[in-house]
């Protein structure tokens, strides 16, 4: 069963990689259409660097760049990959006879699954379109590939410290929030890219690569709102994950909070996302600056996950 | 001011009121010229501004970063000591900046205290405003409903009064009020309630943490198989009481470790740890059995006993030159995952044959599953369980240095006045005896285990938990409830409005062109305009059904495209 799970993960990575190529094709195909769409916008973009997005302007609906054939293929491949991915996670759980998020490898796989799920939800709700796909699937594929090779661990029982029903609650919430946060980080970066592209076009300059990639992306306000929607979902989940972790820590280690490196970085991540939510409501911080905060918060999350787990010794060193 | 001007100004105020859908603080108007605000008031305004709160939040995140990278005394004093040794020039600087105690540092406290003052300063007026908003009826109809982000209009044959009644039925689950010209409705007050709940919970959480830090205590004790301890300050190896902790708050329990047992998987990974204990809640209370495991502490009243560590303790017998048998169970400190452990045996009461002191000391390595390292040839352990235990020791004679008065670690020998016994390291199996050159002997009898327990008492815990639940609930409400308003204006065939009160002709609404009753609906949401557009369409659809509509040649488009997103109300100042 464990072997089946590994094979399924391999197929997943393959499908995601193919989806990535299809999405790249979709982005390339949608350029000519989008340029005309962008041409009408520069005046608004210039209104002031502090408030790059006019809050009251009608939101440009996301054009269906995904309507191109390549985009549809990409979405179909991602959906198929998602199904295989779910199967891989489930068989892993059956093989180990426990929840399939007991070590770093499994955690990565589940976090990638949430990120893809969140991406599919965004697509379904038309918050983003297929032109974003390549930018999402590249990190997802890399992340999964890294998990399957460097972090790979044989399916096995849990160390005693993890043997608690809290692992179902605390880690599941952490996984769900992490996947969504990572996706929001990508979308925030895309927002910055698109915004930069628009600014340059408005100044009459021709953006060079990689800024020229911004041309195929959905309009900046859509990306801004998509990032917010994902973070608004993930933030309460993350908060809950930390609280569930504190309750577990109280039972396992005798204190609910002790500034263990993992706890410290989870706290930093939490505070930075709180900053993002506040920044988005503060004059002079909307748009570009809050997007940078979202990127910084995602970076803190990555440190919390990779650096703390691998290089820092703490109570969370299991994997 | 003419009557017309007056009316226009009033209408402008109504329109502004209608669109203000938040109790979030508005930026304060700049003080009038020549009239400077009191410096204290100005500083207060600065501190409680959103910008300052945001800055303090950033600082809080930034200030925590060193705590995530530099070893912390509260967590790992050994690691800190190592860091100090490895970085002799950098460490004193870091220490002076409290970077080894980040979370107890004055500058860290300054940041979060300022943040919480700013938060409270922001919360109090907002709570007042929200309480008022909860009692306030939805505002007057704005002049032109068509100007709102979502709007719709149609005609019906129904009487204005009927149309109005239909509107109230459709808006049943909204807070509605009849206003001149129609109905005003509002929904989603829970958004701000949730927002305030979240931030108040944060303050309560801080109080809970403070209570725990002031009145709680934490202590650890090492207990060997068969030994026990009573919950008194003296029993502990290490105690960490809160500033206002008093020993008479200690639960009067006592506990004996019957047996510690660990099981391991084939690859040496630990599977279970189990400390079988016998305990009693106080003198005269019945003795009970309990298994303290990881994730399964023993709760006695307010206190909890946790299993936090374990190791091996060989039982040894030392015979001195005088022939006395001195028994000891020696806790050894594990050095690696296979439980290679370092042991120190001190025998201060050993005597010469003539009765003069002849103190003995031994240093050794305990290996639970003994093997020889093929490369170095040294004794090592290949499995954490005691399958093939051995104790490898060297011995010392002389003065252990215990009488000097200075406290000495039980886990190391002070060798200044000790001479090594001239013999190679002795590998002892259970039952083996080493006859010391020059007299006396050391026997390794059998292997016991030890466990370390942590006892904690945290009176702020419950409050912190309640506050945490409040935080999650508040967050969910403030992020997912949408605050929105809808107005329905009903204009009769003659241009008169349906509602009671004076008939007003509204600038924005011409009487129905075909002589029917004109229904106009307008709506406004502060967040998630897509969702609102859908809700608005459903609402007008139901109203059309309830109030009727008749085909009109010039029906304006349905709901206008939603506007781009507004700042979230989820994020109060603070």
Q: What is the pLDDT of residues A152-207, one digit of tens each?
A: 888 777 776 777 888 889 999 999 999 999 999 999 999 999 999 999 999 988 88
According to the model, what pLDDT value does residue B276 have?
95
CB contact under 8 A, A160 and B456: no
Enumerate the residues of chain B whose CB falls inside 8 A of the CB of residue A227: none
Choose the mutation target among B50, B51, B54, B263 for the interface with A, i.e. most A CBs under 10 Å: B54
CB contact under 8 A, A236 and B472: yes
According to the model, what pLDDT value does residue B185 have?
93
A window 91-150, beta carbon within 8 A of B: 125
Q: Are A285 and A279 in contact (CB under 8 A)?
A: yes
Question: Taking Cα atoms as reference points, which of B182, B444, B453, B202 lies closest to residue B306?
Answer: B453
Reading phi first (left if > 0) and then psi (alpha if -120 to 50, else beta), residue A204 is in left
**Digit-coded pLDDT (tens) for B462-491:** 999 999 999 999 999 999 999 999 999 998
- CB within 8 Å of B252: residues ≥ 6 apart: B230, B231, B281, B282, B283
Enumerate the residues of chain B whose CB falls inside 8 A of the CB of residue A243: 468-469, 471-472
By mean pLDDT, which of A306-310, B363-367, B478-482 is the weakest? A306-310
Q: What SS3 class is residue B146?
A: coil
How distant, in Å, are the alpha carbons of A169, A268, B59, B98, B129 from that of B66? 29, 11, 12, 10, 40
CB contact under 8 A, A61 and B561: yes
According to the model, what pLDDT value does residue A99 have?
86
What is the CB neighbour count within 10 angstroms for residue A4?
A: 14
> Which CB contacts under 8 angstroms, 24+ apart, belong to B532-541?
B532/B149, B532/B150, B532/B482, B532/B484, B532/B562, B533/B150, B533/B559, B533/B561, B533/B562, B535/B484, B536/B150, B536/B152, B536/B486, B539/B170, B539/B171, B539/B486, B540/B152
Q: In chain B, whose CA is at the least distance from the CA of A241?
A: B472
Q: In chain B, whose CA is at the least distance from the CA of A265?
A: B68
Nearest CB to A236 within list B58, B476, B530: B476
Confirm whether the ipTM is greater than 0.90: no
Mean pLDDT over the full length of chain B: 85
CB contact under 8 A, B58 and A275: yes
Choose the mutation target among A281, A292, A317, A318 for the interface with B, i.e. most B CBs under 10 Å: A281
CB contact under 8 A, B270 and A160: yes
Q: In chain A, whose CA is at the least distance from the CA of B76?
A: A314
Nearest CB to B54 within list A236, A253, A279: A279
CB contact under 8 A, A277 and B570: yes
Choose the mutation target among B19, B25, B50, B61 for the interface with A, i.e. most A CBs under 10 Å: B61
Whether A298 shows a pLDDT value over 50: the answer reads: yes
According to the model, what pLDDT value does residue A40 have?
38
How distant, in Å, are the alpha carbons of A194, B461, B478, B568 from that of B571? 26, 27, 8, 6
CB contact under 8 A, B68 and A268: yes
Q: In chain A, whose CA is at the least distance from the CA of B460?
A: A256
Q: Is A313 on the interface with B (CB under 8 A)?
A: yes
Vertex A106, ends A105 and A110: CA angle to 5°? 120
According to the model, what pLDDT value does residue B35 have?
61
Enumerate the residues of chain B whose CB falls inside 8 A of the CB of residue A267: 64
According to the model, what pLDDT value does residue B567 have?
37
Whether A114 shows a pLDDT value over 90: the answer reads: yes
Model confidence at A46, pLDDT cuts 50, 70, 90, reads very low
Q: What share of chain B is helix, strand, coil (3-state, %, to 5)?
A: 30, 30, 40
CB contact under 8 A, A164 and B564: no
Q: Indicate the length of chain A as a whole number.
A: 319
Cα separation, A244 vs A169, in Å, equals 7
Cα separation, A255 vs B454, in Å, equals 10
Placement of tokens 């400390």 in the chain: B275
Q: Are B445 and B430 in contact (CB under 8 A)?
A: yes
Model confidence at A2, pLDDT cuts 50, 70, 90, reads confident
B262 - beta bridge partners? Answer: B273
Q: In chain A, whose CA is at the least distance from the CA of B480?
A: A232
- The nearest CA of chain A is from the CA of B71 a distance in Å of 9
According to the model, what pLDDT value does residue B13 have?
76
- The nearest CA of chain B is from the CA of A159 a distance in Å of 6
- The nearest CA of chain A is from the CA of B542 a distance in Å of 24
Nearest CB to A280 within list B51, B563, B571: B571
Enumerate the residues of chain A whose CB falls inside 8 A of the CB of residue B60: 271
- The nearest CA of chain A is from the CA of B289 a distance in Å of 19
Enumerate the residues of chain B whose CB falls inside 8 A of the CB of residue A282: 50-51, 54, 567
Model confidence at B555, pLDDT cuts 50, 70, 90, reads very low
According to the model, what pLDDT value does residue B228 have?
92
What is the CB neighbour count within 10 angstroms for residue B418?
A: 18
CB contact under 8 A, B565 and A277: no
Choose the mutation target among A41, A170, A255, A299 for the interface with B, i.e. most B CBs under 10 Å: A255
- The nearest CA of chain A is from the CA of B56 a distance in Å of 9
- CB within 8 Å of B228: residues ≥ 6 apart: B254, B255, B256, B257, B278
Tell me the average pLDDT across B531-539.
90
* Percentage of chain B modeled with pLDDT above 90: 46
According to the model, what pLDDT value does residue A52 have?
36
Produce one character per residue of A80-114: b if its CB has 16 or more CB atoms within 10 Å, e if not. Answer: bbbebbebbbebbbebbebbbbbbbbbbbbbbbbb
Cα separation, B181 vs B504, in Å, equals 7
**Digit-coded pLDDT (tens) for B185-209:** 999 999 999 999 999 999 999 999 9
Cα separation, B434 vs B395, in Å, equals 10
Question: Taking Cα atoms as reference points, which of A11, A7, A29, A288 lies closest to residue A133?
Answer: A29
Nearest CB to A281 within list B308, B562, B567: B567
Q: What SS3 class is residue A54?
A: coil
According to the model, what pLDDT value does residue A35 have?
38
* φ, ψ for residue A173, nearest 5 deg: -65, -40
- CB within 8 Å of A291: residues ≥ 6 apart: A188, A189, A191, A192, A195, A224, A227
Cα separation, B274 vs B296, in Å, equals 10
**Digit-coded pLDDT (tens) for B221-267:** 999 999 999 998 888 888 888 889 888 888 889 999 999 999 988 88
Nearest CB to A282 within list B50, B465, B569: B50
Tell me the average pLDDT across B137-150.
88
According to the model, what pLDDT value does residue A61 have?
44
According to the model, what pLDDT value does residue A32 have?
41
Terminal-to-terminal C-alpha distance of chain A: 21
Q: Supply the pTM of this predicted model.
A: 0.81
B107 - beta bridge partners? Answer: none
Whether B501 shows a pLDDT value over 50: the answer reads: no
Structural tokens at position B495: 């241009």
Q: Are B388 and B369 in contact (CB under 8 A)?
A: yes
Pairs of residues, one from chain A and one from chain B, whose beta carbons lie less than 8 Å apart: 164
According to the model, what pLDDT value does residue A57 have?
40
Reading phi first (left if > 0) and then psi (alpha if -120 to 50, else beta), residue B377 is in left
Q: Is A268 on the interface with B (CB under 8 A)?
A: yes
Enumerate the residues of chain A whose CB falls inside 8 A of the CB of residue B103: 259
Enumerate the residues of chain A whose CB falls inside 8 A of the CB of residue B562: 58-59
Q: Are B395 and B442 in contact (CB under 8 A)?
A: yes
- The nearest CA of chain A is from the CA of B52 a distance in Å of 10
**Digit-coded pLDDT (tens) for A76-98:** 999 999 999 999 999 999 988 88
By mean pLDDT, which of A49-58, B18-27, B315-324 is the weakest? A49-58
Choose the mutation target among B53, B59, B68 for the interface with A, i.e. most A CBs under 10 Å: B68
Placement of tokens 């093997």 in the chain: B371
Enumerate the residues of chain B whose CB falls inside 8 A of the CB of residue A251: 295-297
Cα separation, A156 vs A150, in Å, equals 17
**Digit-coded pLDDT (tens) for A220-239:** 999 999 999 999 999 999 99
Nearest CB to B564 within list A56, A259, A284: A56
């Amino acid at each position: 069963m464990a072997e089946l799970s590994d094979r399924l993960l391999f197929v997943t990575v393959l499908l995601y990689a193919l989806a990535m190529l299809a999405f790249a094709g979709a982005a390339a195909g949608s350029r000519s259409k989008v340029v005309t769409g962008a041409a009408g916008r520069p005046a608004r973009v210039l209104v002031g660097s502090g408030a790059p997005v006019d809050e009251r302007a009608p939101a440009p609906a996301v054009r269906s760049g995904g309507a191109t054939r390549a985009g549809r293929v990409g979405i179909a491949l991602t959906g198929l990959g998602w199904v295989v991915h779910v199967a891989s996670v489930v068989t892993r759980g059956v093989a180990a006879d426990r929840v399939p998020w007991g070590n770093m490898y499994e955690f990565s796989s589940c976090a990638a699954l949430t990120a893809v799920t969140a991406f599919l939800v965004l697509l379904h709700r038309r918050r983003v379109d297929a032109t974003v796909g390549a930018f999402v699937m590249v990190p997802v594929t890399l992340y999964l590939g890294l998990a399957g090779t460097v972090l790979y661990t044989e399916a096995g029982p849990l160390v005693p410290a993890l043997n608690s029903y809290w692992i179902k609650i605390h880690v599941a919430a952490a996984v769900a929030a992490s996947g969504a946060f990572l996706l929001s980080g990508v979308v925030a970066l895309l927002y910055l890219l698109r915004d930069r592209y628009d600014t340059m076009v408005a100044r009459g300059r021709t953006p060079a690569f990689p800024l020229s990639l911004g041309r195929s992306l959905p309009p900046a306000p859509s990306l801004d709102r998509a990032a917010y929607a994902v973070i608004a979902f993930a933030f309460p989940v993350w908060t809950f994950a930390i609280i569930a972790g504190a309750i577990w820590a109280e039972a396992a280690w005798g204190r609910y909070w002790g500034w263990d490196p993992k706890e410290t970085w989870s706290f930093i991540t939490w505070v930075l996302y709180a900053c993002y939510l506040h920044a988005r409501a503060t004059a002079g911080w909307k748009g570009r600056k809050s997007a940078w905060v979202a990127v910084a918060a995602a970076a803190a999350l990555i440190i919390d996950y990779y650096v703390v787990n691998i290089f820092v010794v703490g109570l969370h060193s299991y994997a | 001011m003419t009557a017309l001007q007056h009316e226009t100004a009033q209408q402008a105020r109504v329109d502004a009121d209608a669109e203000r859908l938040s109790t979030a603080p508005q930026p304060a108007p700049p003080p009038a010229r020549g009239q400077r605000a009191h410096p204290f008031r100005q500083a207060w305004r600065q501190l409680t501004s959103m910008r300052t709160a945001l800055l303090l939040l950033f600082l809080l995140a930034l200030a925590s970063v060193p705590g995530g990278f530099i070893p912390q005394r509260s967590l790992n004093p050994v690691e800190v000591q190592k860091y100090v040794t490895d970085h002799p020039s950098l460490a004193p600087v870091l220490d002076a900046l409290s970077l080894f105690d980040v979370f107890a540092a004055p500058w860290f406290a300054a940041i979060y205290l300022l943040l919480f003052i700013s938060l409270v300063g922001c919360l109090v007026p907002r709570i007042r405003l929200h309480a008022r908003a909860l009692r306030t009826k939805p505002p007057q109809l704005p002049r032109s409903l068509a100007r709102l982000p979502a709007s719709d209009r149609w005609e019906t044959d129904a009487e204005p009064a009927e149309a109005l009644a239909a509107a109230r039925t459709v808006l049943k689950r909204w807070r509605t009020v009849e206003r001149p010209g129609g109905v005003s409705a509002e929904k989603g007050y829970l958004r701000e309630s949730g927002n305030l709940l979240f931030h108040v919970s944060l303050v309560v959480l801080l109080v809970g943490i403070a209570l725990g830090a002031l009145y709680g205590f934490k202590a650890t004790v090492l207990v060997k198989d068969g030994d026990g301890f009573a919950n008194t300050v003296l029993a502990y190896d290490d105690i960490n009481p809160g500033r206002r902790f008093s020993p008479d708050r200690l639960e009067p329990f006592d506990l004996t470790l019957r047996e510690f047992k660990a099981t391991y998987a084939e690859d040496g990974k630990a599977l279970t740890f189990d400390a079988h204990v016998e305990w009693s809640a106080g003198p005269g209370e019945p003795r009970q059995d309990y298994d303290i495991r990881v994730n399964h502490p023993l709760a006695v009243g307010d206190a909890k006993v946790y299993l936090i560590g374990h190791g091996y303790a060989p039982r040894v017998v030392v015979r001195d030159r005088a022939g006395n048998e001195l028994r000891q169970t020696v806790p050894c400190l594990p050095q690696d995952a296979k439980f290679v452990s370092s042991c120190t045996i001190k025998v201060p009461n050993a005597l010469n044959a003539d009765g003069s002191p002849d103190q003995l000391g031994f240093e050794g390595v305990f290996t639970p599953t003994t093997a020889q390292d093929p490369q170095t040839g040294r004794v090592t352990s290949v499995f954490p369980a005691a399958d093939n235990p051995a104790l490898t020791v060297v011995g010392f004679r002389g003065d252990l240095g215990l009488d000097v008065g200075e406290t000495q670690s039980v886990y190391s020998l002070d060798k200044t006045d000790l001479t090594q016994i001239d013999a190679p390291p002795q590998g002892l199996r259970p039952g083996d005896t080493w006859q010391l050159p020059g007299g006396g002997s050391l026997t390794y009898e059998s292997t016991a285990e030890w466990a370390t327990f942590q006892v904690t008492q945290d009176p702020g815990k419950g409050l912190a938990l309640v506050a945490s639940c409040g935080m999650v609930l508040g967050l969910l409400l403030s992020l997912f409830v949408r605050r929105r308003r809808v107005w329905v204006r009903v204009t009769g065939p003659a241009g008169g409005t349906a509602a009671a009160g004076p008939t007003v002709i509204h600038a924005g609404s011409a009487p129905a062109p075909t002589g029917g009753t004109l229904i106009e609906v307008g709506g406004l949401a502060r967040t998630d305009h897509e969702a609102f557009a859908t809700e608005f369409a459903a609402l007008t659809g139901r109203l059309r059904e309830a109030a009727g509509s008749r085909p009109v040649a010039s029906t304006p488009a349905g709901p206008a495209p939603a506007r781009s997103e507004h700042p979230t109300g989820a994020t109060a100042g603070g």
